[in-house]
């Protein structure tokens, strides 16, 4: 069979292959234009704003990988099989979900709507760059002022009683300060005392903690969270200047090397969200036309700054008010961002030498 005949046969074969091709099938099949989250490799039992559907499906896929060794839906998702298994066990960025959130357990308020809203808008990032996909538009609440004395007290208590296990996101407990900030002070107090039923799965030892200390810890966690978000937001200034320098810099090879925008969008993970009918595609479409349209409307500096800010989010451990890109994934290598800047500076020239956007 010739190369061209083989390529023509690929679309018809993709949906029938059990493994290794699901990711390709999400685009290279007749299913690519179906409604959101209805892909040919089986993923898509949730709607855009349904937290439960996404979390439950990730856990279901991971469970099948553990028990059966396979699940075709896993091939089209930007997560490793190891990560999917961790999801099913309640570890990592995904937690096992219930159809009704456990706002209270044993009559004690565990989380509240404001904390959940903040967490969804500014999810923590791991050291490897992974994070939950943020929903920045959901965070429009006024933040209550914090008592400085209480914040200082909480910092001392946390360092003595909590930091050995919860001081880092990747620490022994697997839940760092930004994760603990999701819970109410009453819950922190009750859980530390061992007053919360855990079905025999509790691994944390009981910790002597007063209610005043719990309130102080909660204030400290919230203060630190706000400070980290502020640092990420401020980095838009410094990263904006860096983006401008990249646009003005000359190519290190003298002439701009050939640049494939389609390859950039694919290898950078942009197509996972900014493709098809996903909500992210409404803001930025991962295609040559979508990129040039964005550059013309918002300027090249804005696009590059979002890519650079992702590096700040990973450094600070949290997503800012205007998320960096790629959201939920590791930041792109600086050299790859530099190549995009050189391509934009050359008026978005195609491999055929034509230009597709204004200088």
Between 222 and 39, residue with greater pLDDT: 222
Give the per-residue pLDDT at 103.
83
Between 154 and 266, residue with greater pLDDT: 154
| Distance (Å, whole) CA 184 – CA 131 | 22
- Write out pLDDT tens, residues 210-235: 999 999 999 999 999 999 999 999 99
Between 115 and 92, residue with greater pLDDT: 115
Between 36 and 340, residue with greater pLDDT: 340
Quick check: pTM over 0.85? no
Question: Looking at the predicted structure, is the pLDDT value of residue 238 above 90?
Answer: yes
Give the per-residue pLDDT at 122.
93
Question: Looking at the predicted structure, is the pLDDT value of residue 22 above 60?
Answer: no
Find which of 47-51, 173-177, 226-230 is predicted with most confidence, using mean pLDDT.
226-230
Q: Which residue has the tokens 């099938």?
A: 25
Could you give the residue ranges of the DSSP H alpha helices within 249-287? Answer: 261-267
Element at 309 (helix H, strand E) = helix 300-316
| Distance (Å, whole) CA 54 – CA 60 | 10
Between 252 and 226, residue with greater pLDDT: 226
Question: Looking at the predicted structure, is the pLDDT value of residue 279 above 90?
Answer: no
Question: Looking at the predicted structure, is the pLDDT value of residue 357 above 70?
Answer: no
Write phi, then psi, for 323 (nearest 5 degrees): -55, 140
Element at 247 (helix H, strand E) = helix 211-248
Ordered domains of the chain (ranges, CATH): 3-88 (no CATH), 104-226 (1.10.760), 233-345 (no CATH)
Contact 195, 202 (CB under 8 A): no
Total number of residues shown for the chain: 359
Question: Looking at the predicted structure, is the pLDDT value of residue 270 above 60?
Answer: yes
Residue 32 pLDDT grade (very low, low, confident, very high; cuts 50, 70, 90): very low
Give the per-residue pLDDT at 61.
85
């Amino acid at each position: 069979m010739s190369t061209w005949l083989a390529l023509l046969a690929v679309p018809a074969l993709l949906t029938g292959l059990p493994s290794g091709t699901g990711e390709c099938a999400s685009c290279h099949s007749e299913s690519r234009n179906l409604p959101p989250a209805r892909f040919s490799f089986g993923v898509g039992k949730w709607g855009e704003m349904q937290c439960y559907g996404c979390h439950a499906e990730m856990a279901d896929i991971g469970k099948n990988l553990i028990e059966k060794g396979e699940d075709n839906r896993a091939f089209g998702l930007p997560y490793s099989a190891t990560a999917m298994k961790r999801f099913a066990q309640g570890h990592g960025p995904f937690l096992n979900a219930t159809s009704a959130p456990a706002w209270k357990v044993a009559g004690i308020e565990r989380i509240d709507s404001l904390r959940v809203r903040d967490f969804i808008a500014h999810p923590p990032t791991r050291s490897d760059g992974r994070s939950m996909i943020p929903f920045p538009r959901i965070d429009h609440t006024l933040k209550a002022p914090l008592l400085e004395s209480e914040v200082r007290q909480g910092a001392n208590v946390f360092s003595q009683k909590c930091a050995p296990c919860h001081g880092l996101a990747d620490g022994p407990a697997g839940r760092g300060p930004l994760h603990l900030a999701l819970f109410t002070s009453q819950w922190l107090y009750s859980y530390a005392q061992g007053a919360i039923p855990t079905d025999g799965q509790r691994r944390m030892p009981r910790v002597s903690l007063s209610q005043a200390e719990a309130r102080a810890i909660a204030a400290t966690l919230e203060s630190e969270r706000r400070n980290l978000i502020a640092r990420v937001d401020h980095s838009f200034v410094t990263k904006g200047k860096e983006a401008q320098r990249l646009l003005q810099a000359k190519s290190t090879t003298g002439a701009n090397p050939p640049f494939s925008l389609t390859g950039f969008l694919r290898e950078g993970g942009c197509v996972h969200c900014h493709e098809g009918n996903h909500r992210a595609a409404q803001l930025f479409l991962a295609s040559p036309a979508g990129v040039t349209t964005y550059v013309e409307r918002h300027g090249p500096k804005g696009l590059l700054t979002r890519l650079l800010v992702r590096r700040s989010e990973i450094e600070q451990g949290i997503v800012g008010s205007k998320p960096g890109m790629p959201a939920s994934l590791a930041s792109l290598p600086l050299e790859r961002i530099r190549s995009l800047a050189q391509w934009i500076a050359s008026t978005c020239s195609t491999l055929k030498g034509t230009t597709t956007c204004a200088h």
